A and B are shown apart, each in its own frame.
Chain A
């Protein structure tokens, strides 16, 4: 339990961090772009020029034209409209699934590393067990358990599959931080376990976690498509950037129909890049020792 003084101290720490974040220009721009993409997802029905599922019987895999600004896909649907709607699924999956496994992974990893001994042994073995199963088998099993596919199931499955890797990363990081002078010092002054972990250990192990999270987001957006193929997650005709890209599994499409892969590829890239910049900004803001 923290006393009032340290709580107040903590509040000013966060305020300072926020101010530092605002000074990080690229991060702010990133946040703005990410916000715009999110807004696009929410307002999809208003923005999208056409229905994302309607089929144009005269235009299959058609090049961009006046009626279809970004062309049509393999089933004659408007690529631009699908791209806009797809932001809903892809952003939700990317952000929520990764947040879920980062939170679980960070908690488990830091608990294991900080307390060590039996707790570490048990938690580490749990990670081992999770990592030992072929993920595909777990996914197929999950399909049979869940029954009806939904977005939330994808998030749960991705979360379940992703946390052990993060937990290990955090554990490794904290194991070495634990013995550092500043942590020893904090302990010596009588800081509680929670305070030591939250104030000293976590911010300092944040860097690799942020890298894992940004790359995890891109990965989750792509893996979502693979999952819907196995009967988990959003089912056709609901678009996602990932399943739009799987349309491009052909050398001919790659060479001659860039409108089928370029737009979703770019959207994923923009989203992940902005998340990365926001992450950078966050890390710099939270870690006052980094002033270069």
Chain B
């Protein structure tokens, strides 16, 4: 196990290196010139050249990459082309809002999906199942922006229970309740969009478990149905579903691009879009690097969980 862990950690280094090389290359080959995105009419070619030089874009790609890597090893992620702020700050200030939004949404979606998934598995092919199926697919058939707008229309405009967007009331004290109220709508939209698929995963996982021998044995022993469900079926059915959450970690951090945009949420997804629209390479590299680290960490965790929940899986 320790050997396995050491090897996995060691291999991370060349992989990260490879990812940065590839991202750098892909970015430099993508059409669009960051300097052009910074200039305004009235700027002369001379100004453009000054800027190109100031951003280091007058150098060939490999020189830029080596410089970037060199700075990275010193712990410096560079400076945003767009705002001039350090990349670490720009990416760092997005982490908290993104985590707040996506983790709440993840929690909510499990809260919705597990009970429904279990019930519909148990009552498979009855009207309960079909109604739940219908709603699961309703969420996925409409784009997120549409769900978001519907939410705003109903809860912010008609009922006036919740704010339209943002993370706090302007001029307010930014208290806990205020923050919570701003979180409800975007988190629910994300949760509803995610819960549909999750319900289906729970359902299918549950169905599988219900047909396993040990559940049949339990039933045969005459245990009450509720106990069978809780003690035997549910626990085993949830293992694959929970590991799914681990796999979702990087996606969660990448941010919920559309939801963040509709609800004025200052998360990673919006930063990514902004950086792409401006071709802000240093920020994009920062995002890629952090995403990569999280993907690798998330996978390692998932693999370790597999062997924990199922002792038969061993890594040599």
Contacts and interface: CB of A to CB of B under 8 A. Distances in A.
- Are A and B direct contacts in the complex by CB distance below 8 Å? yes
Interface of A: 26, 117, 121, 124-125, 127-129, 131-134, 136-138, 140-141, 143-144, 165, 168-169, 172-173, 175-176, 178-179, 204, 207-208, 210-212, 214-215, 218-219, 222, 225, 242, 245-246, 248-251, 254-255, 261, 265, 268-269, 272-273, 276, 283, 289-292
A65 to B, nearest CB: 25
Contact of A175 (B208, B210, B291, B313): B313
Contacts, number: 160
Interface in B299-316: 299, 302, 306, 310, 312-313, 316
A175 B306 CA distance: 8
Contacts of B244: 169
B210 A144 contact: no
Contacts of B150: 254
A269 B288 contact: no
B22 interface: yes
B152 interface: yes
Contacts of B19: 129, 132-133
B149 interface: yes
A282 B184 CA distance: 39
Interface residues on B, range: 35 or more
Nearest to B302: A172
Contacts of B142: 245, 261, 265, 268-269
A137 B310 contact: no
Given A137-B30, A211-B197, A265 B141 contact: yes
A277 B254 CA distance: 32
A91 to B, nearest CB: 14
B200 interface: yes
Interface stretch (B69-77, B131-139, B166-174): B131-139
Given A137-B26, A144-B30, A179-B310, 12 more contacts: A117-B316, A124-B299, A129-B22, A133-B19, A138-B26, A140-B30, A176-B306, A215-B140, A215-B200, A248-B146, A272-B141, A276-B200
A290 B211 contact: yes
A137 B27 contact: yes
Interface in B248-280: 250, 254, 272-273, 276
Interface core residue of B22, B143, B250 (most chain A CB under 10 Å): B143
